[in-house]
Amino acid sequence: MDYFRRFTFLFATPNFDAEDLEGIRFNQIIEEIERSGFEVVKARKLEDAEIAVQTDAAIGCMVVDWGKKGLEGKTAALINLMRRRGLDFPIILLIRRKRFEDVPVEVLDFIDGYIFLSEETPPFIAKSLISRLKQYAETLKTPFFGALVDYAEEGNHLWTCPGHNGGVFYSRSPIGRVFMEHLGEAVFRDDLDNSVLDLGDLLTHEGPALKAQKEAAQIFGAEKTYFVLNGTSTSNKVALAALVTDGDLVLFDRNNHKAAHHGALLIAGGIPVYIPTARNAWGLIGPMRWESFDEEALRERIRLNPLVKDPEAWTKPRPFRVAVVEQCTYDGTIHSAQMILDKIGHLCEYILFDEAWAGFMKFHPLYAGRFAMGLTGLGPDSPGIIATQSTHKQLASFSQASQIHIKDRHIKGQKRRVEHRRFNESFMQYASTSPFYPLFASLDVGAQMMKGRSGEVLWDDTIRLGIELRKKIRAVRREFEEKETRPDRRWFFEPFVPDRVSIADASREGAVHDVA
């Protein structure tokens, strides 16, 4: 399908009678648009339009009727809702000239144009609307995925790898044909050889591939970002191979994924100083024990470590090459990254935060101070900061999609800093020379989905749903326990949340009140 025709028009027009002159002209506009191959969704109620705006991401242009008096408030509210949710598709007001002066200035700020039905012909209006949709759709093309779409739509033949040749080979076998039809032709057309110059180089980071990673870095708050195509297991190995060499001291969270063990300790030869972690009676994985961060205790553990051959290692100002922290555990316990930095930052040349399960934290104020790329106050005496994220876990990417974020310009010129050339050698050590382009494109698109207001809106919706679900489970539990007469059956699921939460009371300095 043509890229632009993947987008639809939404007409929120509750006031038109198909039998009168305006209604006839209005229907002619829709017919012209549909004749051009675009789908038109009609909402006869503003409430239906609101539902469509919140659930249909295919909308590429919305036409709203500024019609009968009394509906202006609802129409303005619909427009405001769209912009609050970070939706940037064009909004066009359908209005009578005599009512133009009634449109509030704050509404004019949010719309992209207006149509006087009696001023232009339906074919011209339809062309204008289609042009606006195409302009909007063009802005959505992300650096790499957009280039991939353009390349595919050119109908290029590729006479190198992969051998399925855009899916043609599959189509010559019964089960191959079923496989191709199941996945859709586009994924086979987008599975390209790494020699396609139009898409840049995924190993040396050039062209659209580099631009995609640069924009992802801006979105996630990093200085540099690398897209990794075989999971955060590999992202951790890439980062640790660049950082650690034989005999380096590694401050090591006991909760760390086995990939961190492989990368820092088994392959690179680092010497661990382990940080004990907590488990509760239900076996849930908790945080690192805070007392384990005591500097005096850490230095003593270095001094007594039989693997450490340097008798003066424990006295060095910065004894640890890197601290490796499981920033979000498998069960959802999230540390304060800022507290970790403040407590042990001066002891480490780098801190690697494994954020495999929490790549979303940049996009909601609830997680302020809890993610690596949001750390503040970094200076020449601070450690370099690295975060690895499994975007396929909690964000929108294909399985195995991962990324590495780096923030270390504050130590530029220092011997301990890992420059791009060295880091990329480590990256290429683990990267395939036959990368799967749709997987790389999913990282590009997944990052852009979080851009601007959209990221916070999406995650605010998700967090609120989680809160409401937990509240409902607790309400059901209370009701069940009240009604059940048999003690042995008086049981129901319990969410893993505190019974009470203390919230600062703005009306009284230093005071708090509890919320059950």
Can you give 138-186 as a three-state secondary structure string?
A: HHCCCHHHHHHHHHHHCCCCCCCCCCCCCCCCHHHCHHHHHHHHHHCHH
* pLDDT bucket at 4, cuts 50 / 70 / 90: very high
For residue 237, how far is the Cα from the chain centroid? 22
Query: Which comes out higher in pLDDT, residue 438 or 43?
Result: 438
Q: In residues, how long is the chain?
A: 516
Q: Where are the beta strands (DSSP E) in 282-382?
A: 285-288, 320-326, 348-354
Q: Is the pLDDT of residue 201 over 90?
A: yes
Structural contact between residues 41 and 52, judged by C-beta atoms closer than 8 angstroms:
yes
Q: Is the pLDDT of residue 138 over 80?
A: yes
* pLDDT bucket at 70, cuts 50 / 70 / 90: very low
Provide the total of helices (H) and of strands (E) in the chain, helices listed first. 17, 16
- Conformational region of residue 70, where left means phi above 0, alpha means psi within -120 to 50, and beta covers everything else: left
* 35-49, 104-118, 218-232, range with the lowest pLDDT: 104-118
Q: How many Å apart are CA 474 and CA 192, to the nearest integer?
A: 51
Q: Is the pLDDT of residue 197 over 70?
A: yes
Query: Which comes out higher in pLDDT, residue 71 or 366?
Result: 366
Q: How many Å apart are CA 73 and CA 79, to the nearest integer?
A: 10
Q: Is the pLDDT of residue 226 over 70?
A: yes
Per the structure block, which two tokens stand in for 122? Answer: 């339906």
pLDDT at 509: 63
Residue type, 325: V
15-40 pLDDT per residue, tens = 666 667 778 888 899 999 999 999 99
pLDDT at 347: 98
* Mean pLDDT, rounded, for 401-416: 98
Per the structure block, which two tokens stand in for 74? Answer: 């609802």
pLDDT at 128: 95
* Mean pLDDT, rounded, for 74-95: 84
483-505 pLDDT per residue, tens = 888 888 888 888 888 777 777 76
* Mean pLDDT, rounded, for 110-116: 86
Active site residue 393: yes
Per the structure block, which two tokens stand in for 214? Answer: 């640069």
Q: Is the pLDDT of residue 385 over 80?
A: yes
Class at the top of the CATH hierarchy for domain 206-453: alpha beta
Q: Is the pLDDT of residue 71 over 60?
A: no
Q: Is the pLDDT of residue 430 over 90?
A: yes
The neighbouring-strand residues paired with 65 are: 94
Check 393, 407, 408, 444 and give the catalytic one.
393
List C-alpha distances in Å: 499 to 212, 332, 494, 515: 44, 17, 10, 9
* pLDDT bucket at 44, cuts 50 / 70 / 90: confident
DSSP 198: G
Rounded to two decimals, the pTM is: 0.91
Q: Where in the chain is the domain with CATH 3.40.640.10?
A: 206-453
Structural contact between residues 288 and 254, judged by C-beta atoms closer than 8 angstroms:
yes
pLDDT at 498: 79
Check 248, 253, 354, 408 and give the catalytic one.
354
Q: How many Å apart are CA 350 and CA 347, to the nearest integer?
A: 9
Q: Return the H-helix or E-strand segment holding 449.
A: helix 437-449
Q: Where in the chain is the domain with CATH 3.40.50.2300?
A: 3-139
Q: How many Å apart are CA 400 and CA 423, to the nearest integer?
A: 20
Q: How many Å apart are CA 39 and CA 8, to the nearest integer?
A: 5
Active site residue 253: no
* 85-89, 204-208, 226-230, range with the lowest pLDDT: 85-89
Q: What superfamily would CATH give domain 3-139?
A: Response regulator (3.40.50.2300)
Percent of the chain with pLDDT over 90: 69
Structural contact between residues 162 and 435, judged by C-beta atoms closer than 8 angstroms:
no
Check 224, 257, 335, 405 and give the catalytic one.
257
Q: Where are the beta strands (DSSP E) in 346-477?
A: 348-354, 384-389, 402-407
pLDDT at 412: 97
* Mean pLDDT, rounded, for 344-353: 99
Whole-number mean pLDDT of the chain? 91
Residues 6+ apart with CB under 8 A from 198: 147, 150, 151, 207, 208
Question: How many of the other CB atoms lie within 10 Å of CB of 437?
Answer: 22
* pLDDT bucket at 194, cuts 50 / 70 / 90: confident
Question: How many of the other CB atoms lie within 10 Å of CB of 267?
Answer: 13
Scored b (16 or more CB within 10 A) or e, 275-299 reads bebeeeeeeebebbeeebbeeeebb
